Amino acid sequence: SNVRVRFAPSPTGCLHLGGLRTAFFNYLFAKKMKGKFILRIEDTDQKRIKPGSVENLNEMLKWTGLIPDESPSKGGSYGPYVQSERLRIYKEKIEDLLKSNAAYRCFCSETRLNIMKKDALQRNESRGYDNKCRHLKESEIQTLLNEGIPYTIRFKIPEEPVSHNDIIFGTHTHSVSENEGDFVILKSDGFPTYHFACVVDDHLMYVSHVLRGTEWLISTPKHIMLYNAFGWTPPKYAHLPLLTNSDRTKLSKRQEAIGIDYFKNKGYFPETLLNFLAIAGGGFGKQEGCIAYDLETLCSKFNLDQVNKNSCIVDFRKLDLLNNNYITRKLSNDEGFVELVRDFRRILKTKFGQRYEEERNKLTDSYLKKVLLCYKDRMTTLLEMTEKDMEYLWISPKYENVMQLLSNLRIPDSVIRSLKDVQYQLSLISSSDYNEEKLSSKLKEISSELKIKYSILMRTIRVVTTGQKDGPGVSEVLTMLGKEGCLEKLSAFIKEIELRESKIFLE
């Protein structure tokens, strides 16, 4: 296929939801049309560049599986793929426009331009530059050049309105000359502006379709003018609707909760995030529930002509549902379960480090499955299963912390010493009877036999088995740990007490 599309972000921060949606739709269109997906870095605005942006971009594209066919790291036949490495190309094309009289040098100072902006604001006018330098004579230009006066290059805007047929928004007509003055295409620092560089790059990289956010729809006539000035054929344009908050305000890059690394760090799966964007923007036909499809299926379903025109409200509750359903479906089949356990073990190792390694042999796959199945309807992400009140499921509490907590709660020594009897009584219950109902009844019976107030005994068992004074009911805790895990935690605590008491006695 001759279809070639590009994702061309500026390295001004981390990849966010709007940027990922643009990359995602470009990727899907390219793959469906058996074309090429290009990554290009547009870094011509050097003042706004933030260190680490490109690294974050590459990491997030890899995480979501949107791997470019051509990019700065992979290379390709039409590089370089970083605009700051293409300055020579831009200068050659600038010379072409100067020679054809489609552009000119502008020597206006920043002071004059700022005064013009203030005057325009006071008169409530949108028009910017007054095209003064368009009318300079050759002799005047030469004099200014000889004096070393800094200059920019401006494009001469034709008077005629420009129309184009957008794949999503249909026919769009705009008269640039009626609304603004000649615009800058090369800055005084030698770097091109976005409008100029993207046109040159798209042409030289044989980009056939430009899919980008609807905020660029108003700029498209400028780009078509530049194509016409060069005598080039413009690509086809498709402007994607805005992603908005529930109150219809635009999603902002400054919102922490729209950065892609935020979702990754919170434990969302890349598949669910991509499906979330698919649901929000249209283009995939009728959606059947909150099912997360793989990339191949999404490619087959994608239809650019069906993308919504209206702004798309981002409802994060749907993302939670998608992620929960994704986990549930993985748990329902052997292959999915193996993948889920692998991911979860990685989370446990990252969260608990050496403490996880010490417990690893006890955390069998069957145990992990039991716990995850039990909580599947109550969790949104796997990461939630490692929060404070769930830590007891994966690691043993530290003895010192347990003793400090028992002391803070003023648990009598006699109750602590009774844990040996509690352990023995719990060991008499068969593994099949280790459920909340049977355990709840047995714990009340033990409390009565030992003549210990039920609430105090429950608090003691919870602290020893979980390292926390609050949390799930004790019968739920013991059920989740299972007979072996429950007795092991009680035994380890009892042995530690006896060991320390024997050392004191020997001393």
Q: What is the pLDDT of residue 124?
A: 77
Could you tell me the CATH number of the domain that includes residue 306? 3.40.50.620
Q: Quick one: pLDDT band at residue 311, thresholds 50, 70, 90?
A: confident
Q: What is the pLDDT of residue 179?
A: 85
**Rounded mean pLDDT, 411-420:** 94
Last residue of a domain, one of 240, 270, 301: 240
Please say if the pLDDT value at position 505 is more than 60.
no
Q: Quick one: pLDDT band at residue 450, thresholds 50, 70, 90?
A: very high
Angstrom CA distances, 94 to 182, 187, 191, 475, 485, stand at: 15, 11, 11, 76, 73
Task: Say which of 32, 132, 253, 444 is annotated catalytic.
Answer: 253
Provide the domain limits for residue 482. Answer: 399-505
Q: 161's torsion region: left (phi>0), alpha (psi -120 to 50) or beta?
A: beta
Q: What is the pLDDT of residue 251?
A: 72
What is the tens place of the pLDDT at every residue in 179-204?
Answer: 889 999 999 999 999 999 999 999 99
Q: What is the pLDDT of residue 257?
A: 62
Are 258 and 153 in the same domain?
no
Active site residue 222: no
What is the tens place of the pLDDT at every residue in 101-148?
Answer: 999 999 999 999 988 888 888 787 766 789 999 999 999 999 999 999
174 touches 72 (CB < 8 A): no
Q: Quick one: pLDDT band at residue 279, thresholds 50, 70, 90?
A: confident
**Rounded mean pLDDT, 44-50:** 91
Q: Quick one: pLDDT band at residue 439, thresholds 50, 70, 90?
A: very high
Please say if the pLDDT value at position 1 is more than 70.
no
16 within domain boundaries: yes
Q: In the chain, how many domains are there?
A: 4
323 within domain boundaries: no
Name the residue among 10, 13, 27, 11 with its Cα closest to residue 61: 27
Q: Quick one: pLDDT band at residue 503, thresholds 50, 70, 90?
A: low
Are 283 and 223 in the same domain?
no
Total-model pTM: 0.89
Say whether 128 sits in a helix, a strand or coil: coil
Are 148 and 231 in the same domain?
yes
Name the residue among 425, 269, 439 with its Cα closest to residue 347: 269
Are 211 and 91 in the same domain?
yes
